[in-house]
Structure 1
Amino acid sequence: MMDVLIIEDEEPAAERLIELIGQYDSNIGILAVLSSINASIKWLSENRQPDLIFLDVHLSDGLCFEIFNQVKIQSPIIFCTAYNQYALDAFQLHSIDYLLKPLQYEKLEKSLKKMDAMLGRPASPLPEIDLHKLAKAIQVQKQPYKTRFMVKIGTKIKPVKIEQIAYFLSSNKLTLLVDNEGRNFPIDYSLDDLMTQLDPDLFFHVNRKLIIHIDAAQEIHPYFKGRLKLILHPPMEDGADVIISSQKTPYFKRWLGQ
């Protein structure tokens, strides 16, 4: 039976990956799901190497390549990323494949079949990692972020600038852009798609239904079991509480206080 380690800081993406892995082979074991560079370094230092690592490129506390500075990784890697400019660099780090988000079963199946085939071959040494070259390549390739969205109002189309957006909300199979005045506009993006196009210094993926702009968080209150409760402006139409999970709380605080 294959044992895998998942390093992914977005809870919905991690849950989606676990679901797809189970769909491919329910006997594959999930050793742990980690969300940060520091947690990954600690786990890999204290445990045996897994058969396979699913590794998100952009983690809550930086780019995943920092892990390789601290721990010698001998496991094959499948990179999961929304940033296809990292794909070439990923292959240089003895990866067997990479998956672009949002994850699709067909692509995962192809990657795992590739891994199954590799397990049947004699082991070969893994290549050394040129971290300096990799870091330089990443610095050169910067992700262009959206500065505005086009929304439809009746028969007209209107631009909404990033600074006018309070949050994005997934509701009834629609994605809504909510501006600072509380007006809702449907847009043709999923929340996963949006996170590849929004500046992470300005937007935070609170949960599977909500992405907020940093200025929308008006008040933060301690909540049960290490969680946080947010008061947003404008408030949510349905009056639902906005809760930051205990797992995301330290990253949210770091993001908010940057």
Structure 2
Amino acid sequence: MKVVIIEDENFAAQALAAMVMELKPRTKILEILPSIEETVAWFKTNTPPELIFCDIHLSDGNSFEIFNQVEVSCPVIFTTAYDQYAIEAFKVNSIDYLLKPIKKEKLTGAIAKFESLNHQGLHEQLNNFQQLLQDVQSKSKPKTKSRFMVKSGQSIQVIPTEEVAYFIAEDGIVLLVNCEGKRFAVNNSLDQLEEQLDTHSFFRANRQLIINIMAVEKAESYFKGRLLLRTKPETPGDQVISSSKAAAFRQWLEM
């Protein structure tokens, strides 16, 4: 069995690889891929594996972006901590799903399910995969947030979403930065915010930043097809958009 693991946490990836090898010693782990960008590049230049283990949230975005950019020609077992609605979709349309932390007995069952599929079963799984992407992506977005409540000294301040320039992660804290450059801590993760914000106005630029289109000053060409983002108010440090996201970013600017 030839396997590719898509996982941005090295410890989790190595642990999964070790469990797979323990259960199926003749397995060949072709590659462990930590990001959308690297995964897309790998699939464009390599023969597909027989099975993919794929985490949902990667360092540079949602892993479903991978399957929007490259054709899936093998079954997928998701490793996820997603909400129940998504799990129901996985049950119907994917080989299996594994909730983190992954337990050996669950992994055993998932591999057994994969091995039990005949040619027709594999064909049906691949046909269902695009439906899975559509189901999860359409159901994963709750109503967009119209305002945020933040603490300002001893009081609570309400900031309308349209007054947010960007959200940035710094030292384990997510900060809301308004159009005046004032910074406020919020309790949401960037992954949660990405699902709650209007995609016409906000874009997940990278692992650290979600930007409002009104705060984009310009995007400059950077190394290896990437973009260097300039914002107003300015962000701390350089903010780079990966080559795999550059096209989507340009399309977003034109929406």
TM-score normalised by structure 1 residue count:
0.71
1:123 equivalent among 113, 116, 121: 116
Question: Which residue in the other structure is 2:238 paired with?
Answer: 241
SS at match of 2:243: coil
SS at match of 2:31: strand
Residue 98 to residue 162, structure 1, CA distance change in 2 (3 Å)? farther
CA distance in 1, matches of 2:199, 2:110: 36
Structure with the bigger percentage of helix? 2
Equivalent residue runs for 1:37-186 within 5 Å: 39=40, 43=43, 47-54=47-54, 56=56, 64=67, 73=74, 75-78=75-78, 80=80, 84-97=84-97, 99=99, 107-110=100-103, 113-119=105-111, 123-125=116-118, 126=121, 128=124, 141=139, 143-186=142-185
CA distance in 2, matches of 1:65, 1:227: 19
- Quote the offset at 1:133 in angstroms: 7.5
CA distance in 1, matches of 2:93, 2:202: 29
Question: Which amino acid in 1 is paired with 2:244?
Answer: Q
Gaps of 5+ in 1: 7-13, 100-106
SS at match of 1:225: helix
Question: Which amino acid in 1 is paired with 2:89?
Answer: D
SS at match of 1:248: helix
CA distance in 2, matches of 1:89, 1:72: 19
Question: Which amino acid in 1 is paired with 2:178?
Answer: D
Contact 1:214 1:256 in 2 (8 A): yes
Residue 46 to residue 244, structure 1, CA distance change in 2 (3 Å)? closer
CA distance in 2, matches of 1:96, 1:123: 12
RMSD of equivalent CA atoms: 3.9
CA distance in 2, matches of 1:222, 1:152: 38
SS at match of 1:247: helix
TM-score normalised by structure 2 residue count:
0.71
- Quote the offset at 1:202 in angstroms: 2.3
Question: Which residue in the other structure is 2:12 paired with?
Answer: 20
CA distance in 1, matches of 2:208, 2:241: 12
| Equivalent residues, number | 235
Identity among equivalent positions (%) equals 27
Question: Which residue in the other structure is 1:222 paired with?
Answer: 221
Contact 1:82 1:196 in 2 (8 A): no
